[in-house]
Amino acid sequence: MVVEHQNKRRVIFHIDMNCFYASVEMAYDSDLKGKALAIAGNPEERKGIIVTSSYEARAKGVKTTMPLWQARRLCPELVVLRPNFDRYRSASKAMFKILSEITPIVQPVSIDEGYMDVTDCGPPEKAIELAENIQNRILHELDLPCSIGIAPNKFLAKMASDMKKPMGITVLRKRELSTTLWPLPIEEMYGVGNKTAEKLKKMEIHTIGDLAKKDVYELKQVLGINGERLNNRANGNDKRSVDPDAIYDFKSIGSSQTLPHDTIEEEEIKKLMVILATNVERRLKRKQAVGQSIQLMIRYADRKTITRSKKLQMFIEDKEDILYFAKELLELHWNEDPIRLLGITVQDIQEKQRIAKQLDLFTYEKEAQNEKLYTAIDQLSQKYGKDVFKRWENSIRKEKENPTTSFQKDFLDDYKH
């Protein structure tokens, strides 16, 4: 659903929950409020890194992705909890439910942030009042703090929500960019990662203002089409709509995990690959999707990372197939140095329903390449009726799964149900 506004100035909100995991834990247990709190993985394993922390912990130097041992050294009184993803998922659902009661034009982008198009929710001059009402409602009903950015487009709203935390409300107007946005270091611009920032600095681009004024042709020579896109954003231009259906757009589904220790033991590696393939299968089936490419990511002990992929002749969704082709890539490309992390991703994703509509009988027979399949279809249809596969798909869709650390977009439509 893409909404067009005739002759109206758009008013876009970006809602960003503050220290979300830590805030949810504090809402659950009020004794934690005001304490230096961190959410981290298993401290006995390398995965014991800081996922997020409270502002009290951040004041002591505790940062996201910091090893737990380092965080404890900086902040001896640090309270450490393991993640409770069911709790975070429930809080996220409740938060988006509140937003959807203001307007149906809500686009979740992750568990703790999303956009709202409130253009038709009242006059623009009432936008700050509306934001305050939303912020207060989330705080009073869920006991969770958030920051809200208000702007005429998604990019500026996102930048605005980062400017004042916690519990901030910031308006970013295009006519004020020269004093509000442009002085910021280029690294602080949303959409500019470390590698892009390095390239821009070599072009003498050190602030967002420098990027806004840079010749587009020069930027495209270095960054391709992304150079033009970033220049537009730096100048406050972003035509993207707030699209509630965007959560259903996905091109790949993957799972990755760090090993407890660097290893060359094939049994350990294979066990992890089974776990990863199972995760990918589960997520594919939840999405009712299949894929036609497989990618393997290997990160070595020296942090060098390689990704290798293979285009397949057929669509896959089962863990056995995912595992088979992932192992094939491992055998071809692993140099037998110690492995730190593995990732398996199925790419070129399509929904089964869409494929079914696209394939005629001739194509279907060619793709299947397996007479047993037709026999099984006939037998199941005779026993259970011709809509057996439709009922099977519906049963999977209703299935409730326990989320893993790889949330991505698997459950972001929960608030609609």
Give me the pLDDT at residue 314, please: 85
What residues form the annotated binding site for Mg(2+)? 16, 112
Residues 80 and 40 sit within 8 Å (Cβ to Cβ): yes
Place of tokens 């910021």: 184
Residues 247 and 413 sit within 8 Å (Cβ to Cβ): yes
Residues 196 and 211 sit within 8 Å (Cβ to Cβ): no
Domains of the chain, earliest start first: 12-17+87-173 (3.30.70.270), 20-85 (3.40.1170.60), 178-234 (1.10.150.20), 250-369 (3.30.1490.100)
Give me the pLDDT at residue 64, please: 86
The CB density around residue 310, as the number of other CB atoms within 10 Å, is 15
Give me the pLDDT at residue 2, please: 53
Give me the pLDDT at residue 9, please: 87
Name which of 134, 142, 40 is nearest 91 in CA terms.
142
Distance of CA 47 to the CA centre of its chain: 19
**Tens of pLDDT, residues 231-254:** 999 999 999 999 998 876 677 899
**Known catalytic residue at 113:** yes
Hey, is 355 helix, strand or coil?
helix
Which residue stretches of the chain have pLDDT < 70? 1-7, 42-47, 248-249, 353-411
| Catalytic entry in 113, 367, 399, 401 | 113
What residues form the annotated binding site? 16, 112
